[in-house]
Amino acid sequence: MPTNDLMEKLVSLCKRRGFLFPSSEIYGGLNSFYDYGPLGVELKNNVKRLWWQSMVQRRDDVVGLDAAILMHPKVWEASGHLQNFTDPLVDCKQCKRRFRADHLLEATGSKPDLGTMKTPAGLPKVCPECGGELTEPRRFNLMFKTFMGPLEEASSVVYLRPETAQGIFVNFKNVRDTMRPKLPFGIAQIGKAFRNEITPGNFIFRTREFEQMECEYFCHPREADRWYDYWRQERFNWYVDVLGINKKKLRLRDHKRDELAHYAKACADVEYQFPFSGWSELEGIANRQDFDLKQHATFSGQDLEVTDEAGKKFTPYVIEPSAGADRATLTVLVDAYTEVEGGRTTTTESNKELEVVMRFDKKVAPIKVAVLPLSKKETLARPAREIFDALRSRWTCTYDEVASIGRRYRRQDEIGTPYCVTVDFETLEDKKVTVRARDSMKQERIGIEELEDYFKDNL
Ligand SMILES: [Zn+2]
């Protein structure tokens, strides 16, 4: 299947079945912003919950945090975001389009070196769209700016955080003072971040508003390399073992020296082979050394050092696994999408259409069980509703009584529901229902009384 085709189909399915909608769509949408629909929010919540379980709930050495999105402006001075978080841009004087200088350069085949921001040799002088004259490159900060309080003046400028990590660093002391963790320990957080990207795109892969899942893991400098190796592997395994992503489409890529941020000693990306862009980053694992804590100690005047067994003071190093909740969700969607030419069901109306099956891992599937009465008649609807009510106190379930049973199975396959429970006229006699599995299409008769245990074992 041509790759763009696949993305087009996936985007269309996401819209049609309530996973993702363009933001403010009735007003024509807002470029590259998306809203998670009823199924999308379940899917993304499952991804975030699984991350939290792995990173916080099941660990002795990591605690959670939920910091505010707006922070003291000094935070962004200390972190370097005010000075360095910029892209070089050129504007077209004629059509007013804005371009990233490095992208224009790359298009000419030159390797961008934009550190100095002198107009690099080879930078095109005319607009690739209209041939108009281009301005000199200028630095453009990627942080969203707003004003706190009623006055729109310089002293009331605040920024929407461009990463959740700084909320963790500025709470390092609070967490130490209250929870008394011993090194090594981590602080984990899930939350929104905002970057005024010039070129967002590829559906929810790069958006200006996004959600991060970050952990800052503090350790003794002499143990940092070991913990870096540990997290690098641990986080790769999470995508395979927990999210159920195809291992063949995942890889760990170590950054080359010239790719590293100035504060990082080492960095590796977990990458997925996306249909639109090839290998692309899902998560970065970085050894940020003591850069952040030292910067905040300097800018705040607070003591952020710890004391080792010998009574010697030092600033801990930090290993940062930083993942994107939206990218992980997109990966789950792309990876689950399966087409079966000619269909795979043999129902009464097997009209050999193309069937789509979302083969989500059961843990991430937005809906776990669909309850389907064979007929809408009260005699079947009543027991079916009772089963539905019993199951949904525990799992996310749906109830569907419209159209033929074959159609309804397909609708559930298309949203990746692992199990369908069909209540038929025999049910009234033998108190059993048909449980149909999404992937094997195997059907089993299970007693109503045993249903809960059955799903406890299988979900
Ligand atoms: Zn132009």
> For residue 153, what pLDDT is reported?
87
Reading the block at residue 300, the tokens are 């705040």
The confidence band for 160, taking pLDDT boundaries of 50, 70 and 90, is: very high
> For residue 201, what pLDDT is reported?
87
Candidate ranges 79-83, 140-144, 454-458; pick with highest mean pLDDT: 454-458
> For residue 110, what pLDDT is reported?
67
pLDDT tens digits for range 379-399 = 999 999 999 999 999 999 999
The confidence band for 3, taking pLDDT boundaries of 50, 70 and 90, is: low
Cβ distance 253 to 277 under 8 Å? no
Rounded average pLDDT over 291-313: 96
CATH topology of domain 3-71+149-332: BirA Bifunctional Protein; domain 2 (3.30.930)
HEC secondary structure over the chain: CCHHHHHHHHHHHHHHCCCEEECCHHHCCCCCCEEECHHHHHHHHHHHHHHHHHHHHCCCCEEEECCCCECCHHHHHHHCHHHHCEEEEEEECCCCCEEEHHHHHHHCCCCCCCCCCCCCCCCCCECCCCCCEECCCEEEECCCEEECCCCCCHHHEEEECCCCHHHHHCCHHHHHHHHCCCCCEEEEEEEEEECCCCCCECCCCECCEEEEEEEEEEECHHHHHHHHHHHHHHHHHHHHHHCCCCHHHEEEEECCHHHCCCCCCEEEEEEEEECCCEEEEEEEEEEEECHHHHHHHHHHCCCCCEECCCCCEECCEEEEEEEEHHHHHHHHHHHHEEEECCCCCCCCCCCCCCEEEECCCCCCCCCCEEEEECCCCHHHHHHHHHHHHHHHCCCCEEECCCCCHHHHHHHHHHCCCCEEEEECHHHHHHCEEEEEECCCCCEEEEEHHHHHHHHHHHC
Reading the block at residue 163, the tokens are 């990463």
**In this model, does residue 111 exceed pLDDT 70?**
no
pLDDT tens digits for range 162-182 = 999 999 999 999 999 999 999
Nearest-5° Cα angle at 137, 133 to 140: 125
**In this model, does residue 362 exceed pLDDT 80?**
yes
Nearest-5° Cα angle at 251, 9 to 246: 50
- Give the Cβ contact number of residue 426 at 10 Å: 13
**In this model, does residue 349 exceed pLDDT 60?**
no
* Mean confidence (pLDDT) of the chain: 92
The confidence band for 347, taking pLDDT boundaries of 50, 70 and 90, is: low
pTM, full prediction: 0.90
Give the distance (Å) from ligand 1 centre to CA of residue 151. 36
pLDDT tens digits for range 368-384 = 999 999 999 999 999 99
**In this model, does residue 64 exceed pLDDT 90?**
yes
> For residue 115, what pLDDT is reported?
47
Q: Which residues contact 236 (CB under 8 A, 6 or more apart)?
A: 250, 252, 270
Alpha-carbon gap, residue 297 to 302, rounded angstroms? 5
Rounded average pLDDT over 89-109: 84
> For residue 117, what pLDDT is reported?
45
pLDDT tens digits for range 227-262 = 999 999 999 999 999 999 999 999 999 999 888 888
> For residue 116, what pLDDT is reported?
46
Give the distance (Å) from ligand 1 centre to CA of residue 202. 24
Range in 100-114, 148-162, 367-381 the model is least confident about: 100-114
> For residue 346, what pLDDT is reported?
57
**In this model, does residue 119 exceed pLDDT 60?**
no
Give the distance (Å) from ligand 1 centre to CA of residue 443. 61
**Half-sphere exposure for 247 (CA within 13 Å, toward CB):** 7
- Ion ligand 1: protein residues whose beta carbon lies under 5 Å: 92, 94-95, 127, 129-130, 132
The domain spans of the chain are 3-71+149-332, 86-141, 341-458
Give the distance (Å) from ligand 1 centre to CA of residue 112. 21
pLDDT tens digits for range 415-452 = 999 999 999 999 999 999 999 999 999 999 999 999 99
Reading the block at residue 328, the tokens are 């992980």
Binding residues for substrate, by number, are 100, 163, 210-214, 320-324
**In this model, does residue 207 exceed pLDDT 90?**
yes
State whether CATH 3.10.400.10 applies to domain 341-458: no
Give the distance (Å) from ligand 1 centre to CA of residue 127. 5
Amino acid letter, 424:
D
Burial of 354 (0-12, 13-18, 19+ CB in 10 A): exposed
Give the distance (Å) from ligand 1 centre to CA of residue 93. 7
pLDDT tens digits for range 314-331 = 999 999 999 999 999 999
> For residue 141, what pLDDT is reported?
87
Give the distance (Å) from ligand 1 centre to CA of residue 23. 28
Cβ distance 95 to 129 under 8 Å? yes
